């Protein structure tokens, strides 16, 4: 974990980059969009740790410092990347009719975000600070809120419901992705890992006893072959959340409709 001397990032400059990126092509062919595209391709293929300014510049065939006038710095580049992929989340998708079942609309949102995280795994590595004030993120937010509009929720409840749904998705995605990475790096399969850990763990745990945990872990292992099943947890959790939302909407409906 290097110090990396990262600057906070200038919001006004960022707005310009997000909404009115320079289209003018200089002698090297660099533009904010070209750089952002190269950075996304790199992060998709090799992960966030491989995403260094030096590497992106190398991939584009220019010196490291050539990028700075176009992207301001690393944190701005990350925001440009997030906004660019956010614009694609619902691009290749036909949304369910607004007149139909709200459960279908919510499942559509959850699935699109799940697919999004799987297509761009680095999205789960970037800590969301203040919202990215760009066209991609704004359009995504508009699409998602619209699916929750007209159910009888207050504006704030709409935002909170959406946050809860997306939180469930990104949490499961984060765990799934980091499990996947560890599997790749460790060169141990899950079975091998358990074989390596199991016996010493059994001996080490000899004194202590965790009756419920032991029972649940055994059931999980039988059913999934794993000690943890983030995607299953996400689908189950989403179902419960929608059941709760149904109760809330239903109760209001009796009063207000």
What residues from 34 to 93 belong to the interface with DNA (CB under 7 A)?
51-55, 62-66, 68-69, 73-75
Q: Is 157 in the site for a copy of itself (CB under 8 A)?
A: yes
Q: Considering the complex, state which of residue 95 and residue 133 has its C-beta at the smaller distance from a copy of itself.
A: 133
The residues, ordered by sequence, that sit 6+ positions from 119 with a Cβ below 8 Å of its Cβ are 44, 85
Is 245:161 a contact under the CB 8 Å cutoff?
A: yes
Q: Considering the complex, state which of residue 31 and residue 171 has its C-beta at the smaller distance from DNA.
A: 31
Strand, coil or helix: what is 26? coil
Q: What is the distance between the alpha carbons of residues 74 and 67, in angstroms, rounded to a whole number?
A: 10
Contact window for a copy of itself (CB under 8 A) among 29-37, 62-70, 81-89, 123-131: 123-131
Q: Is 131 in the site for a copy of itself (CB under 8 A)?
A: yes
What is the radius of gyration, based on Cα positions, of the chain? 23
For the bound state, the minimum distance from the C-beta of residue 131 to DNA, rounded and expressed in Å, comes to 20
Q: What is the distance between the alpha carbons of residues 118 and 163, in angstroms, rounded to a whole number?
A: 19
Helix and strand totals (H; E) in the chain: 11, 0
Is 246:142 a contact under the CB 8 Å cutoff?
A: no
The residues, ordered by sequence, that sit 6+ positions from 181 with a Cβ below 8 Å of its Cβ are 47
Choice from 14, 17, 18, 30 touching DNA (CB under 7 A): 30
Chain length of the chain: 257
Q: Considering the complex, state which of residue 34 and residue 233 has its C-beta at the smaller distance from a copy of itself.
A: 233
For the bound state, the minimum distance from the C-beta of residue 242 to DNA, rounded and expressed in Å, comes to 41
Q: Within positions 201 to 240, which residues make up the interface with a copy of itself, using CB under 8 A?
A: 201, 204-205, 208, 210-213, 215-216, 218-220, 223-224, 227-230, 232-234, 236-237, 239-240
Q: Within positions 179 to 208, which residues make up the interface with a copy of itself, using CB under 8 A?
A: 179, 181-182, 185-188, 190, 193, 196-197, 200-201, 204-205, 208
Q: Within positions 200 to 219, which residues make up the interface with DNA, using CB under 7 A?
A: none
Kind plus residue range of the DSSP H or E element containing 119: helix 102-119
Q: Is 108 in the site for DNA (CB under 7 A)?
A: no
What's the burial of 199, exposed, middle or buried (CB within 10 Å: 0-12/13-18/19+)?
exposed
Q: Is 41 in the site for a copy of itself (CB under 8 A)?
A: no
Is 129:82 a contact under the CB 8 Å cutoff?
A: no
Tell me the site size for DNA, rule CB under 7 A.
27
Choice from 27, 130, 203, 254 touching DNA (CB under 7 A): 27
**Among 62, 39, 61, which residue's Cα sits nearest to residue 51?**
39
Work out what residue 73 binds among DNA, a copy of itself, none; the CB cut-off runs from 5 to 8 Å by kind.
DNA
Q: By the criterion CB under 7 A, which residues form the site for DNA?
A: 1-7, 24, 26-28, 30, 51-55, 62-66, 68-69, 73-75
């Amino acid at each position: 974990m290097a110090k990396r001397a990262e600057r906070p990032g200038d919001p006004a400059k960022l707005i310009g980059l997000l909404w009115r990126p320079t289209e003018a092509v200089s002698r090297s062919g660099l533009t904010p969009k070209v750089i952002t595209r190269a950075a996304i391709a790199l992060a998709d293929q090799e992960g966030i740790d491989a995403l260094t300014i030096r590497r992106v510049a190398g991939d584009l065939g220019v010196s490291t410092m050539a990028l700075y006038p176009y992207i301001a710095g690393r944190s701005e580049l990350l925001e440009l990347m997030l906004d660019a992929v956010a614009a694609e989340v619902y691009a290749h998708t036909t949304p369910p009719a607004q007149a139909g079942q709200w459960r279908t609309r919510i499942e559509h949102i959850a699935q699109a975000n799940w697919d999004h995280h799987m297509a761009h795994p680095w999205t789960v590595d970037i800590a969301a600070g203040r919202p990215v004030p760009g066209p991609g993120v704004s359009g995504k937010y508009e699409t998602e809120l619209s699916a929750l509009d007209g159910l009888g929720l207050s504006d704030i409840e709409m935002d909170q419901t959406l946050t809860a749904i997306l939180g469930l998705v990104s949490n499961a995605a984060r765990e799934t992705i980091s499990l996947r990475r560890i599997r790749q790096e460790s060169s141990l399969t899950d079975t091998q890992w358990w074989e390596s850990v199991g016996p010493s763990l059994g001996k080490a745990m000899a004194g202590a006893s965790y009756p419920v945990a032991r029972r649940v872990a055994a059931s999980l292992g039988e059913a999934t072959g794993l000690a943890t099943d983030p995607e299953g947890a996400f689908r189950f959790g989403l179902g419960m959340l929608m059941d709760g939302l149904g109760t809330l909407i239903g109760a209001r409906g009796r009063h207000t409709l």
